[in-house]
A and B are shown apart, each in its own frame.
Chain A
Amino acid sequence: MATTTAVAPANSMFRVQHTGPLTALQIVDKIIAQSGASGRAKTVDRITAGDPTAAVTGIAVTAMATFDCLKAAAAAGCNLVVTYEPVWWLDDDSLDRMEGDGLFAAKRDFLRAHNMVVFNFHDHWRDRAPDGIAAGMAKALGWEGYIADMSHPATFRLPPTTLLGLAKELHTKLGDRTMRMVGDPRLPVATVAAIWGNAEQMATIHLLNGSADVVICGYTHEWEAVEYAQDMVAVGDKKGLILLGDIKSVEGGMQYCADWLKTFITDIPVTFVPVAEPYWNPADLG
C-alpha cells in the first residue's frame, strides 16, 4: 500500500468483545503486552510447538518444557505451556537437525495428542523492568530485603557468611543437590551478585571484578569464567563462584511468573510445574 487515505479507527477489530474460547495466540499476545518489554530484534520468544488457534484449557508455567513437564502439565489439564527454556533442546528451538530424530517425533506426537501449545517466554521476561527471573529468584530466596539496587535486583548485601555458609543456604532454599563451587569454602561473604541462568564469559568476568565477593550463576563454560575464577583465587583475590545448574537458578523466576500471570489471566487456571533437578551424584547414593 503506497498511501493510506482512509484509516479505520485504530485497532477497531480488537475492540469487538471476543465471545469464543481464548486461543493460545490471544493469551501469548496478552502476556507479551503485559510484560511491557519492547522485544529484541532477534528473539527466542515465540510459539515453538502446537496450534496457535487452540482453545486454552489451562496454563502451565515452567523453567524448562521437558517431556516430564509436558506430561505433568497435561495431567493437570493444562494445554498451554509457558516455558523459560526451550522445548526442542536448543536456545532458539531450531529443528534443522531433528529430521529422523525419534525423540523429536515422540515429543511432538505427545503435544499433538494433547492439543498442547508451547510458548517460549525468555527474553521478554528478562527484559521486563525489573527482570522477572531476578525478581522471582529474590523472592524464592527470601532476599528481597537485601537487594542492593531495585532496578536490577540481582545484587545482594547479605548478613555476613562464608562461601560454604552461602552454598548451604542455597542448597536448602532451592533444593539443589548438585551445585558446584569455586573458591575457598571459608571465604568471608557479604556481597553477592547473580547471573541467573546462562552466564556469558565477559559478563561473568565483569561481575567477578566488581564489588561482589561471590558470583552465583546457573551455568558458565568451564574453559571460560570457571578458569577465570580459579585464576583470581590463584593470585590471592578473595572471590568465589557458584554454579547452581540452570534450572535451579531460574525456577524461582518462573514460579513468580505464574503468580504474575494470575494477576491478569483470571478466567483460565494457571499452574506452576516444577522440574526435577536433572542430575544425581553417585556419592548421594552411598
Chain B
Amino acid sequence: MDTIFTRRTMLAAGAAGAALASTARPSSAASLTAGDVIERMKQHIGGPWREGGVDGYKVGTPETIVIGVATTMMATFDAFKAALARGCNMVITHEPTYWSHPDTLTYIQDDPLYRVKRAFLEKHNVVSYHLHDHWHALKPIDGINAGTMQLMGWTKYMHADNQRLFTLPPTTLLGLARDFRNKMNDRTLRVVGDPQMPVRIVYESWGNCSQFPGAQFMNSEADVLVIGEAQDWDLVEYAQDLVSSGKKKGLILLGHVLSEQWGMKYCAEWLKGFVTEVPVKFVRIVEPYWNLRHPAFELNPKI
C-alpha cells in the first residue's frame, strides 16, 4: 500500500461532521429516547436481561433523545466521530469506551484523554451503551458469532450441536489464514502451526481467549482454534507446545477488533428490525495495527 493515511487528516472532517450532526435533529424522531431503544433490545434478545455484567450506559442517560443509532466494535474516539458525522448520537459498542472491560473510572479521573473524550461526548449529547454480555447471549445464535459466520460464509458449515464448531471444505492452515486475511482485510493476523497442515474442522472463540477454556477447545475434534487475542505466555505457549508434542493443531489470532466487529454489523441489521424512527448505522473501525509489510495506519474512509 503506497498511501499513508493519518488520523489527523480525518480529525477535521470528523469534527465538521459532528458539528453538523449535533445541529441537525429531525423533529419527527424527537420522542425516541435511548431508554426506548434499550427496552426494545431487551424484548428481542431472546433471553433474560441480567444485571451484574459489563453492559450498560457508560456515557449519557436513558432520557437522552436519540437522533440516530450507531453500532460499533469498540467505542474509540474515531468511532464516535464517525457516528456523529453520520447523524448518530447513540453508540452501541461491544468493547469499552474508557479502556477497560468494566469501564473502570477510578484510576483515570485525572487522565487528560479521559477528560477530552468525556467532554467531547457530553458536548455532542452522546449516549454510549456497552453491549457485550447480552450480545454474546443472543438467541438462538451469539450475535458476534452470527455476524462473523455471515462474513465468512460459514453459516451452512456450523455444527447443529455446537455453534462454535464448523466443518469446512478441506483446506490448509495457510489457506484458512489467507481466507481470513482477504475477507476481513486483516493484515496483522498471526498464526501458530504448520502452514501446510490440512484443515477441516474449526473451533471459534472470537474475541479474547485464555488458556482456560482455550486449551479444551484445542483438544476438541477441531484442527484449528481461531480467536481474537490471547497472551503469549498462556494459550499461545500451549498451542506451540501442542505442535511441538506432535499434535496436528493450529491457532489463528485475528486481532480482537477484526475477529468480532462483523458481529456489530449484524447488530445494526438486528436493530433495524425494531428501531425504525431514526437511522441505524454500522460504524466500522480501522484495524488497530500496521506491520512492516503494510506500513500504513488506515482510517475508515467512510467517515
Bound Cα distance A64, B116 (Å): 40
A90, B211: Cβ atoms closer than 8 Å: yes
Interface 1/0s, chain B 42-72, versus A by CB < 8 A? Answer: 0000000000000000000000000000000
B241, A227: Cβ atoms closer than 8 Å: no
- B230 nearest CB neighbor, chain A only: A219
A49 within 8 A of B: no
> Which residues of chain A come closer than 8 Å to B189, judged between CB atoms?
281-282
Interface 1/0s, chain B 271-303, versus A by CB < 8 A? Answer: 000000000000000001111111111000000
Bound Cα distance A218, B239 (Å): 18
Bound Cα distance A236, B297 (Å): 14
> Which residues of chain A come closer than 8 Å to B240, judged between CB atoms?
66-68, 278
> Which residues of chain B come closer than 8 Å to A281, judged between CB atoms?
188-191, 291, 293
B95, A227: Cβ atoms closer than 8 Å: yes
A180, B78: Cβ atoms closer than 8 Å: no
> Which residues of chain B come closer than 8 Å to A247, judged between CB atoms?
232
A222, B257: Cβ atoms closer than 8 Å: yes
B256, A223: Cβ atoms closer than 8 Å: yes
- B290 nearest CB neighbor, chain A only: A181
B99, A180: Cβ atoms closer than 8 Å: no
For chain B, which range describes its interface: under 10, 10 to 19, 20 to 34, or 35 or more residues? Answer: 35 or more
Bound Cα distance A202, B114 (Å): 13
> Could you tell me the distance in whole angstroms from the C-beta of A164 to the nearest C-beta in chain B?
5
A101, B215: Cβ atoms closer than 8 Å: yes
- CB-contact partner of A227 in B74, B192, B229, B291, under 8 A: B74
- CB-contact partner of B253 in A164, A171, A234, A279, under 8 A: A279
Q: A102-B219, A234-B81, A281-B191 are in contact. Are A89 and B108 (CB under 8 A)?
A: no
Mostly, the B contact residues are: mixed
- CB-contact partner of B77 in A234, A278, A279, under 8 A: A234
B77, A230: Cβ atoms closer than 8 Å: yes
Q: A168-B292, A219-B231 are in contact. Are A280 and B195 (CB under 8 A)?
A: yes
B112 within 8 A of A: yes
- A233 nearest CB neighbor, chain B only: B7
Q: A67-B245, A184-B6 are in contact. Are A230 and B76 (CB under 8 A)?
A: yes
B244 within 8 A of A: yes
Bound Cα distance A66, B4 (Å): 39
Bound Cα distance A209, B107 (Å): 14
B232, A235: Cβ atoms closer than 8 Å: no
For chain A, which range describes its interface: under 10, 10 to 19, 20 to 34, or 35 or more residues? Answer: 35 or more
> Could you tell me the distance in whole angstroms from the C-beta of A217 to the nearest C-beta in chain B?
12
A209, B7: Cβ atoms closer than 8 Å: no
> Could you tell me the distance in whole angstroms from the C-beta of A178 to the nearest C-beta in chain B?
5
A103, B99: Cβ atoms closer than 8 Å: no
> Which residues of chain B come closer than 8 Å to A167, judged between CB atoms?
292, 295
The CB with the most chain B CB atoms within 10 A, among A218, A227, A280, is that of A227
Bound Cα distance A90, B211 (Å): 8
B237 within 8 A of A: yes
A243 within 8 A of B: yes
Bound Cα distance A222, B8 (Å): 21
- CB-contact partner of B99 in A68, A181, A225, under 8 A: A225
B111, A184: Cβ atoms closer than 8 Å: no
A198 within 8 A of B: yes
A283, B181: Cβ atoms closer than 8 Å: yes
Bound Cα distance A159, B76 (Å): 32
A205 within 8 A of B: yes
B289, A181: Cβ atoms closer than 8 Å: yes
B100, A224: Cβ atoms closer than 8 Å: yes
B228 within 8 A of A: yes
B100, A182: Cβ atoms closer than 8 Å: no
Interface 1/0s, chain B 201-245, versus A by CB < 8 A? Answer: 000000010011001000100000000110111111111111011
A97 within 8 A of B: yes
> Which residues of chain B come closer than 8 Å to A232, judged between CB atoms?
113
A134 within 8 A of B: no
B263 within 8 A of A: no
> Could you tell me the distance in whole angstroms from the C-beta of A273 to the nearest C-beta in chain B?
14
> Could you tell me the distance in whole angstroms from the C-beta of A196 to the nearest C-beta in chain B?
13
Bound Cα distance A85, B235 (Å): 13
Chain A residues close to B by CB (< 8 Å): 64, 66-68, 71, 85-86, 89-91, 97, 101-103, 106-107, 164, 167-168, 171, 178-186, 198, 201-202, 205, 209, 218-219, 221-228, 230-237, 243, 245-247, 278-285
10 contacts between A and B (CB under 8 A): A89-B234, A103-B242, A107-B245, A168-B292, A181-B295, A198-B233, A225-B99, A281-B191, A281-B293, A282-B181
Given contacts A231-B78, A281-B188, 15 further A-B contacts (CB under 8 A): A66-B240, A184-B6, A185-B290, A202-B107, A222-B257, A223-B101, A224-B100, A225-B99, A228-B99, A234-B11, A243-B289, A279-B191, A279-B236, A284-B293, A285-B174
Instruction: Return the 4 tightest CB-CB contacts between A and B, nearest first.
Output: A246-B232, A180-B289, A279-B190, A67-B244
